[in-house]
Structure 1
Amino acid sequence: MQDEAKDSRGWRKVFGVLGPSTNTTVQPDFDDMRPAGVTNHYSRIIVSNAQAISNETFLAGTQAIADNTVDAVKSVMTADPDYLVMGMSAITFYGGAEGAARFRRQIREVSGLYLSTGSESLAAAIAAYGGVKKVAFVSPYYPVANEQVRNFLSDYGYETVRDVPLQCPSWTSIARVGTPRLREVLKQLDGDDVDAILQVGTNLSMVKLAAAAEMWLGKPVIAINTATYWHALRANGIQDKVYGFGRLLEEF
């Protein structure tokens, strides 16, 4: 019998989801993966649709997202969530493993809640598959941010063999990268020297393509939105198998 003291829709867990205001992918992705009794409440980190045309402007744009995150946390806390899920990834890779942990601690200090971040969720997802030592990844970022991702993965013991920065010209343009382009990149990244292929950048829509690619590449292909939501569910003791999004949500 349902406990009347619990949220009528989120009777298992109420998630506060934080993402840039320009991001149009995280909200539908997370809702597609949502099991019964779990609800997602998106809080937008206000940021302009920055024109990222160089390493410097990309970093400046992501720093603006970081600077405005606390306000989004305070906003979603008014819904009394049980847990926070970070629907952004670039800034969670900055500074390697220690930088990611520091960012997580900062958000916990503001909210009092535990949270799943993109970078640490991705590391946990790779470990769940097991046997992965060498990886390749695609991002919508500029090369300077890909370097931060490589450094983060190295801190966890993973060697990046290849990576592709798509260098999207604005935040909203990330969501407009189509499946044909991403298929090309997957073929470019794959090889006998790679144990797993990763995708970072939460506005890049790849949860369905990654699931399909696992079948025809025969190796883990991990989309960051899948990894982050999987981590949030499992961190809260929710072991439901969610089908259609790859082995991560189906097997681990």
Structure 2
Amino acid sequence: MSSFLGKRARIGVAIPTTNTSAQPEMDDMRPFDVTNHVARIAIDDDSLANAEGFRKVIDDIRRSTPSAIRSLRHCGLNAIIAAVSPDGYWEGWPAHEMLLAELTDAGGGAAIVMSANAILAALNALGGIRRIGLISPYLELGDEPVSRFFTESGIDIVATHGLGGRTPSNISNVTAVDLRNAVLAVNRPEVEAIVQVGTNVPMAKFAAMAESWIGKPVLANNPVLYWHALRCSGIGDAIPGHGLLYEAK
């Protein structure tokens, strides 16, 4: 690899224009001699409180994500993260696989990292976890398809809690109290790990702290995406302060 700054790996990150959490969180996780390269997925800040608005957001993501990823293809990237969640889950595995194939073609050979694949890989890396508490960024309208996707993947969702995001940009307007309450709401005795979906939820640092007081993995979406991108790029560094997953091989 010839890049002076990205001697070990170069990671692409395609992020919605409404998202203010994924880029800073992933920059905080960047190991030495690994560089991040960002493209924006153009979407409008439509309502997530009704089916029509949610569908418009999904359609915007579908239309714009391939071109955002295509804009990164000449950076010589090892992996490209599609830092969006709802489109990866909305219509189940067949639609997800079709989207993944399209993005793989747009990426020009780089490994494409999506939330659905990354989270399942993380659960396997942590010992084959199958019983989770699920934290969603959405209202009930968005919770159901995400839950169904994991159930169809053989994951038992013991409890679900939505953070109530009403627009894509509004998702980031959570507090530490909101995140604490969400963790407590889904942390049932039979839960083996807590999984948070939604790349605009700024939960990376809170998730790592929460592990210390519940004694279980707390998998925030952005750290999981970045972990999977690093592992797909041959980077196995343990990154202090980012939780149990970054210690897994």
TM-score normalised according to structure 1 size = 0.93
Q: Structure 1 residue 131: deviation in Å?
A: 4.8
Residue 244 (structure 1) aligned to one of 238, 241, 244: 241
Which moves more between the two structures, 8-17 or 77-86?
Answer: 77-86
User: Whole-Å Cα distance in 1 between the matches of residues 200 and 58 of structure 2?
Assistant: 13
CA RMSD of aligned residues (A): 1.6
The answer to whether residue 141 in structure 2 is matched with residue 144 in structure 1 is: yes
Q: 2:124 corresponds to which letter in structure 1?
A: A
Question: How far apart, CA to CA, are the structure 2 residues paired with 1:99 and 1:145?
Answer: 16
CA shift, 1:77, in A, is 2.1
What residue ranges of structure 1 are gaps of 5+ in the alignment? none
Conserved 8 A contact 1:50-1:61: yes
Indicate yes or no: 2:207 matched with 1:210.
yes
2:219 — aligned with what?
222
How has the CA–CA distance of structure 1 residues 96 and 110 changed in structure 2, closer, same or farther, with 3 Å as cutoff? same
Match of 1:30 in 2: 26
- Indicate yes or no: 2:6 matched with 1:10: yes
- Sort the Cα spacing of 1:76 and 1:131 in 2 relative to 1 into closer, same or farther, 3 A: closer
Report what 2:45 is aligned to: 49
User: In structure 2, what is the equivalent of residue 79 of structure 1?
Assistant: 75
**Corresponding residue for 1:116?**
113
Letter in 2 for 1:18: A
Paired amino acid for 1:185: A
1:231 is the counterpart of 2:234 = no
Tell me which amino acid in the other structure corresponds to 2:113. Answer: S
TM-score, with structure 2 as normaliser: 0.94
Percent sequence identity is 33
Q: Take 2:59 and 2:179, find their aligned partners in 1: how far apart are those partners?
A: 26
Q: State how many pairs are aligned.
A: 248
122-131 or 195-204, which moves further after superposition? 122-131
Match of 2:156 among 159, 170, 190: 159
Deviations 1:33-60 (CA, angstroms, capped at 9, x unpaired): 1111111111000112223222331232
Partner residue of 2:86? Answer: 90
1:67 aligned partner: 63
| Unpaired stretches in structure 2, ≥5 consecutive residues | none
Q: Give me the whole-angstrom Cα distance separating, in 2, the residues matched to 1:228 and 1:100.
A: 16
